[in-house]
Amino acid sequence: MDNRPVLFIDSGIGGLPYCIDFKNKNPNEKVCYLADNQNFPYGPREKDELTSILITLTEKVLKSINPKIIVLACNTATISALAALRHRYPQIPFVGTVPALKPAAKTTSSGKVGVLGTARTIGEIRSLGLVDETCDIHGIAAPELVDFVENHFEKADEKEKKEIVKKYMDIFRHEGVDSVVLGCTHFLFLQDVFHKEGANPDYTPQIEVFDSLKGITKRIEFLLDENEGYLRAANDSAWIHQLYITLKDQHFSFWKERANTLRFNLYLLNEI
């Protein structure tokens, strides 16, 4: 048995749905979440810069948190730094998050798949080799949608959420896209809105929406179950899940509220 935690990393709240989904399905496992709010957002950063940031973070968490698995709960971080992190730290399993292009490509009737993500993710979609060249990919970089989720989602009403989602879905419809991939973990907060808008009977084509949530949880579980489950944790009811941030800024009250809602303890990474 291995009672070390599984650690999820993102620049903000985007990776929380992945963390929560895994935690709910694996109640015996210890979970930590790291919001690198000091470096939010990851999307505009150059590949080398972001890789350096994540290497520095990994050095810190290996010493202070000592996770048994690290999940890059961010598409941009995965595309930029996953290979470098695996090469530098071969002793620890890393799980990356990439857009769910394969199921979207299998489902499309038009042959046109839309991807919504950061500029880095959209720019490197083809290099991931997730689909063959016959798939017509229509990518949209949406940094303002990341900002909306991070800074305005909780205060926004349903009309505001619908309007911002509809803006992107209308672009995809105009292009004849019938499968859309949410290629940024932040967008999972608007998952229900995307599904409703995609299935809106007033518009054609109707659009099926895909994300990588279930696939990431299954991948972590696969690693935990390898070698007769040697990484699986024993039941430890005394454990309290932990949320870390890298900067105690004007949004500290926001993170304190998130931690309380999730029943996580909140820590400043740079102080442990």
The domains of the chain are located at: 6-97+213-271, 101-210
**Active-site hit among 19, 32, 74, 135:** 74
Looking at the predicted structure, is the pLDDT value of residue 191 above 80? yes
Q: Say whether 184 is catalytic.
A: yes
Looking at the predicted structure, is the pLDDT value of residue 236 above 80? no
**Active-site hit among 19, 32, 135, 184:** 184
Q: Give the model's pLDDT for residue 237.
A: 63
219 touches 24 (CB < 8 A) = no
Task: Please state which CATH class domain 6-97+213-271 belongs to.
Answer: alpha beta
Same fold flag, 6-97+213-271 and 101-210:
yes
CATH match for 101-210 among 3.40.50.300, 3.40.50.1860, 3.40.50.1100, 3.30.420.40: 3.40.50.1860
List the single range of 75-79, 87-91, 130-134, 204-208 with lowest mean pLDDT: 130-134
Q: How confident is the model at residue 66 (pLDDT cuts 50, 70, 90)?
A: very high
Angle at alpha carbon of residue 208, lines to 206 and 214, rounded to 5°? 165
Range among 99-113, 133-147, 209-223 with highest mean pLDDT value: 209-223
Helix (H, G, I), strand (E, B) or coil at 2: coil
Q: How far apart are CA 105 and CA 110, in angstroms?
A: 10
What is the total residue count of the chain? 272
